[in-house]
Amino acid sequence: MLEKFYPNEYMDSTYDINFDRLYKEGYRGVIFDIDNTLVPHGAPADARARALFLHLKELGFSCILLSNNKEPRVKMFNDAVSVSYIHRAGKPNPANYRRAMETMGTDEKNTIFVGDQIFTDIYGANRTGIRTILVKPIHPKEEIQIVLKRYLEKIVLFFYRRYRKKQETDTHGDKE
């Protein structure tokens, strides 16, 4: 039942993702959430974020920002990284995930979604059939509605870790 909320991967940070490997695996598009995925909530793009997008473009990735925020917030971040964006995206509704892929010229098989929230970011991308990477939030300061969702996310993550551990055991067998 909870599997619809499980990411394909769970990483400490967006900046730990091996995008070079993902490109070699055939991925060509990356959809990013912004707040607490790339920078702390409300912050402008920093040097690390600008360098990431520069590297992704050099590799050949198409990138787009998919945010539930209003346009001034998204545009302010995007002015520094110069990719496409969709504001007021209505995540987890799959419609704008599809629109993002259409904008990038990618599809479900060669697109990755990176975000920090299970019930909006990951659930929406999973519903769309995109590979998902959940990252830990960059900063603990968040809006109250997100803070409340984080408690529920902890429950999902508990079961996700058990699920992954069982998968690894089933795949590798007991080595005793």
- DSSP letter at 4 equals G
Which pLDDT value is given to residue 166?
87
Owning domain of residue 104: 2-172
Closest CA to 6 of 112, 144, 111, 127: 127
- How many C-beta neighbours within 10 Å does residue 138 have? 18
Which pLDDT value is given to residue 144?
65
What 3-state DSSP class applies to 107? coil
**pTM of the entire predicted model:** 0.90
Which pLDDT value is given to residue 171?
76
Which pLDDT value is given to residue 86?
98
CB 125 within 8 Å of CB 32: no
What 3-state DSSP class applies to 63? strand
CA 37 centroid distance within chain? 7
Return the biggest CA–CA distance within the chain: 57
- Give me the average pLDDT of each 10-residue run along the chain (176 residues): 93 98 98 96 95 98 97 97 98 98 98 96 97 92 72 89 87 60
Q: State how many domains the chain has.
A: 1
> What is the domain-level CATH number for residue 9?
3.40.50.1000
Which pLDDT value is given to residue 109?
98
Which pLDDT value is given to residue 176?
47
